[in-house]
Amino acid sequence: MKKSRAYFSGIPTVAHEGPKSDRALAFKHYNPDEIVDGKPMAEHLRFSVAYWHAFRGTGSDPFGPGTIVRPWEAGKDPVSVAKVRMEAAFEFCQKIRAPFYCFHDRDIAPEGRTLAESNRNLDAVVAHAKQLQQATGVKLLWGTANLFSNPRYMCGASTNPDAHVFAYAAAQVKKALDVTKELGGENYVFWGGREGYETLLNTNLKREQDHLARFLHLAVDYARSIGFKGQFLIEPKPKEPTKHQYDFDVASGIAFLRTYGLENHFKFNIETNHATLAGHTFQHEIEVAAAAGMLGSIDANAGDLLLGWDTDQFNTDVRELTLAMISILKAGGLGTGGFNFDAKLRRPSIDPEDLFHAHIGGMDAYALAFKLARRILAEGKFEKFVADRYASFDAGFGRDIETGKANFRSLEKLVLTKLGEPVPKSGKQEYLENLLMSYLHGA
Ligand code: XUL
Ligand code: CO
């Protein structure tokens, strides 16, 4: 196979030059080869390029068409264009030092007139992807199926009122699982884009939730039957495109999975912009998933808090990311997950170079947050503060409460005969925020 090095010819592989470098196309903080706790930083952060934004995004919005024109998109045969595009994508992943990529089935290969034709297109491009993965070492973090763009899915896929659409979606996910396995995908994601409703006037909510759960059980059963060992992930999002989505946030996702006996098969893929759309912080969603032992992966992006929709921007907010990283590291990391840049260029950012600036910023912000979080956890000041705050539960009657030895009668007796009125203690929020600031600004 010919070596593909022609698509970003003016841009060399991005090097780590350190925080003092003033070169825009260099990493200041992300040093993939630096050994941290016995393994390269690249293996801790497991960055991934999102195929749909980086290589299918055109800059279009509801008010106007695309603005981004890539030279490799020219060509009459869509499968040949898909293969060339894929070569550009692998060159980009290598040059940006991202060890992973992620895709929806329809991102990488064009949809045909029939399911059989779509599957043939996919097979042709997947064979090419397999060769490119072998040649470059870039791996598949996760695969998924696009069950939201085609008009057949306008009223949902597994939650569609028409069983025919459920069947079609099942066939599509079956194939997406096959190709994810074929490419060594380490996870498989379900984002329920149209698995929700626009109005309850036409919706049987209970039946739709039952159908969604049935679909997920069928996916788990099929995956097991073909020997797919990857981790299944649910990606919650409260709304957009639908008014209400069933995987609203992590807490409602946990309740859903437990209700239907799916909790041992799924973890969560948490997206920053989806967290804020649900009225939560990014760190909150991570903590809720971690508390249930279900933290799986991250879709790394940011929303604009002044806008009420999913703007999918690259995140350079080091404060937000440091807080997130503290929670991720405390939870023991992401396992087979990673940080996938589900983020897109702004409509006027039309140069190929902008793709590099965007990812460099996102990777540097995460790498800096990773270092800061490690320092904060190593010094343990916040953890000690929190541990001390709950210390009354470590011994005596507090311990009896936690272990189930105490009851309302024994606690009443204790208060009446011994304890009396509790003494209020400060939560010291301002002190803690100042402490965080001293880490963020190097003092
Ligand atoms: C949409 C979104 C998706 C999922 C994959 O908001 O985040 O791209 O990440 O289907
Ligand atoms: Co996402």
Q: Is 271 in the pocket of ligand 1 (CB under 6 A)?
A: yes
Across the strands, what pairs with 299? 271, 340
pLDDT in tens, 144-173: 999 999 999 999 999 999 999 999 999 999
Q: What is the pLDDT of residue 5?
A: 55
Q: Is 299 in the pocket of ligand 1 (CB under 6 A)?
A: yes
Q: Give the SS3 label for residue 327.
A: helix
Distance 291 CA to ligand 1 centre (A): 24
Q: Kindly name the residue from 104, 128, 274, 359 that is annotated as catalytic.
A: 104
pTM check: above 0.85: yes
Q: Is 100 in the pocket of ligand 1 (CB under 6 A)?
A: no
Q: Cα–Cα distance between 123 and 179 in angstroms, integer? A: 8
For atom 6 of ligand 1, which residue has the closest CA?
310
107 an active-site residue? yes
Q: Mean pLDDT for the chain? A: 97
Considering Cα of 56, then 286, then 314, then 378, what sign does the dihedral take?
Answer: negative
For 177-216, b/e burial (b = at least 16 CB within 10 A) is bbbbbbbebbbbbbbbbbbbbeeeeebeeeebbebbbebb
Q: Is the pLDDT of residue 4 over 60?
A: no
Q: What is the pLDDT of residue 6?
A: 80
Q: What is the pLDDT of residue 337?
A: 99
Distance 180 CA to ligand 2 centre (A): 17
Distance 310 CA to ligand 2 centre (A): 10
At 225, the pLDDT band (50, 70, 90 cuts) reads: very high
Q: Cα–Cα distance between 338 and 141 in angstroms, integer? A: 7
Q: Is 310 in the pocket of ligand 1 (CB under 6 A)?
A: yes
pLDDT in tens, 65-84: 999 999 999 999 999 999 99
pLDDT in tens, 174-213: 999 999 999 999 999 999 999 999 999 999 999 999 999 9
At 443, the pLDDT band (50, 70, 90 cuts) reads: low
249 an active-site residue? no
For atom 3 of ligand 1, which residue has the closest CA?
191
DSSP 423: P
Q: What is the pLDDT of residue 442?
A: 82
List the Cα angle 56/57/60 in 5-degree steps: 135
For 318-338, b/e burial (b = at least 16 CB within 10 A) is bebbbbbbbbbbebeebebbb
Distance 106 CA to ligand 1 centre (A): 13
Q: Of 73, 60, 143, 137, whose CA–CA distance to 103 is shortest?
A: 143
Q: What is the pLDDT of residue 427?
A: 98
Q: Is the pLDDT of residue 413 over 70?
A: yes
pLDDT in tens, 304-362: 999 989 999 999 999 999 999 999 999 999 999 999 999 999 999 999 999 999 999 99
Q: What share of the chain is helix, strand, coil (3-state, %, to 5)?
A: 50, 10, 40
Q: Is 312 in the pocket of ligand 1 (CB under 6 A)?
A: no
Q: What is the pLDDT of residue 1?
A: 47
pLDDT above 90 as % of the chain: 98
Mean pLDDT value across residues 100-106: 99
